[in-house]
Amino acid sequence: MTLRLGEDYTKLINLPEFNSLFPPNIFHKTSSSSYFFEDLMFGINLFYDVGLMTTAKQQILNLTEFSGLKNVLVRRMVQCNVMLEDHAANAPYVYLLSRTLFQKSFTKNLQNDIQYISNKQKLIPTESFSEPKEVDMLMFDLADFAPLNPYALEYACMSALLHYNNNTYLLRRLDRFEALGYRRLPRFFERAIRVAPNPH
């Protein structure tokens, strides 16, 4: 079963958010479909982790255009809709999972996990948050807009290190990790502080 969205391959790969998040070579025709799927799935999980449920849903629909309704996509869509309390949109996906042998209990277990839902909903930005086009800029803005979102802070710091070779962003936000209850800085950030050159 494939959900058709009327968006062709060229339009999809030219979206700025794709080109800023994924290496260009995954969009070449020589790229394997599994490589393409895994990289776009990473983006979907990233948006879900930081609480950008609507963006995650949009990317799920885009990926569905090429891969069909895989279980992993349907499960993530159900999770997004539960967090957004969009029960009408969730109905067909819940039905699909209920017809799948190993997924029948997934939705029920998710809806009964009130604590998990509550914790994830706290990460969803308010309507006043505006999403820029570049994904790395999105992480920086979200980290500042939602100071209680640990995932946004980690992704923003990692983006600064990997994309810009800049550890200043991390160093200036060490107190944020402490405020969020981190007992120690994540190990990869500790190493980055030691080895990454500081351009400023």
Closest CA to 97 of 114, 113, 118, 81: 81
- What is this structure's pTM? 0.71
Mean pLDDT over 55-75 rounds to: 88
H-run or E-run covering 65 = helix 53-67
Q: How far is CA 41 from the centre of its chain?
A: 9
Q: Which of 65-74, 79-88, 135-144, 182-191 has the highest mean pLDDT?
A: 79-88
The span from the CA of 83 to the CA of 194, in Å, is: 38
Give the model's confidence band at 196: pLDDT under 50 very low, under 70 low, under 90 confident, else very high: low
DSSP string over 97-151 = HHTSTTTTTHHHHHHH-HHHHHHHHTTSPPTT----SSHHHHHHHHHHH-TT-HH
* Residue 57 pLDDT: 92
Residue 134 has pLDDT above 80, yes or no: no
Residue 136 has pLDDT above 60, yes or no: yes
Task: Using CB atoms within 10 Å of the CB of residue 19, give its burial: 0 to 12 exposed, 13 to 18 middle, 19+ buried.
Answer: middle
pLDDT digits (tens, 9 = 90+) for 33-56: 566 788 788 889 989 999 999 889
pLDDT digits (tens, 9 = 90+) for 137-149: 888 888 888 888 9
Residue 127 has pLDDT above 50, yes or no: yes
Mean pLDDT for all residues in the chain: 77
* Rg of the chain, C-alpha, whole Å: 18
Residue 17 has pLDDT above 80, yes or no: no
* Residue 35 pLDDT: 62
Local structure of residue 22 (DSSP, 8 states): S
Instruction: Say if CB 135 and CB 42 are below 8 A apart.
Output: no
The answer to which of 44-58, 121-135, 154-168, 182-196 has the lowest mean pLDDT is 121-135
Residue 198 has pLDDT above 70, yes or no: no
Distances (CA, A) of 105 to 8, 96, 97, 136: 35, 12, 8, 36
